[in-house]
Amino acid sequence: MSDDFMLDTDDLERRMDGAMSSLKTEFASLRTGRASASMLEPVMVDAYGQRTPINQVGTVNVPESRMVTINVWDKALVGKVEKAIRESGLGINPQLNGTIIMLPIPELNEERRRDLTKVAGQYAEHARVSVRNVRRDGMDQIRKAKSDGLSEDDQKLWEGEVQEITDRYIKMIDDVLATKQSEIMQV
């Protein structure tokens, strides 16, 4: 039995990649004082009887560094898109111009920047917990294989490999967090 055990490290890495991509999506939604179309990704509009992402009811553009525009395709949805943005918690005040909604991005003050770095840290911690949960699953598989006859040397080898993968992903999370925090604090 011990010779047959193969831990699916590709599966562990795939699951850790999922935690990383989720973290990057959450970071993209954090406002840094510069306009970005991705900051609207979490905003959902009540359109046609269901919750719909903004990019499916209009064209999102970034014409300048402190402005996002949304050209809503259906004139009847302009009010709903504006309401969704106001209620999203982004702290942006939409301005209407026909079917175009303009979102001027205000300058962030020092206190708001510090708050955003704390939020970024919380997002990173959630990603670290996800990675550690994947690590725990891998270690559980190894322990089960040991009880099924895996040798102690093979157990140590597999545990070392799982730990190496985990350390690599934790470092990637820390690097992405440091980059995002410096981006937020940049005036």
CA distance to 43, 114, 161, per residue, from 23 (Å):
17, 19, 24
Q: Is residue 21 located within the same domain as residue 68?
A: no
Read off the pLDDT band of 1 (50, 70, 90): very low
- What DSSP element (H or E) covers 20? helix 9-29
pLDDT of residue 113: 84
Using the predicted structure, report yes or no on whether residue 78 has a pLDDT greater than 80.
yes
Which of 87, 104, 121 corresponds to the end of one domain?
104
Highest mean pLDDT among 38-47, 49-58, 102-111: 49-58
Q: Is residue 40 located within the same domain as residue 7?
A: no
Could you tell me the CATH number of the domain that includes residue 13?
1.10.132.20
**Vertex 106: Cα angle to 114 and 186 (nearest 5):** 40
Which of 83, 104, 125 corresponds to the end of one domain?
104
pTM > 0.75: no
pLDDT of residue 49: 87
pLDDT of residue 141: 92
Average pLDDT, integer, range 6-30: 88
> What residue type is 162 in one-letter code?
V
pLDDT, one tens digit per residue, over 85-135 is 888 767 788 999 888 999 888 777 888 788 888 888 999 999 999 999 999
